[in-house]
Amino acid sequence: MQSQFPDVNFVGVSGRDELAAMQDFVNGLGVDAFPHIADVDGVVWAEYGVTSQPAFVFIDDSGEAEVLVASLGQSGLTERVEALLS
């Protein structure tokens, strides 16, 4: 995804779990092309009102955030990012 949209910053946020579990997830799914942070205490989730996974937070250049709690899959995420960039 990162290579498809080089001007977009992607960050994975693992919430309310241990670092080892996050690393297993990243390694198991091969999503290591972008940075990931461990939100062990749920502080980042709380900041954006995320209560469950999967969730996406889209932040535009002005800092405006839109939260989407849903499963998008790669094609859905691609469509969403393309729409935001247009």
Question: What does 24-63 look like in DSSP terms, one character per residue?
Answer: HHHHHHT-TTS-EEEETTSHHHHHHT--SSS-EEEE-TT-
Given a cut of 90, is residue 75 above it in pLDDT? Answer: yes
Alpha-carbon distance of 1 to 85, in angstroms, equals 14
Would you tell me how many other CB atoms lie within 10 Å of the CB of residue 1? 13
* Domain locations along the chain: 12-85
Q: Which CATH number fits domain 12-85: 1.10.3720.10, 3.40.50.2300, 3.40.50.920, 3.40.30.10?
A: 3.40.30.10
pLDDT digits (tens, 9 = 90+) for 33-66: 889 998 888 899 999 999 888 899 999 888 999 9
pTM: 0.81
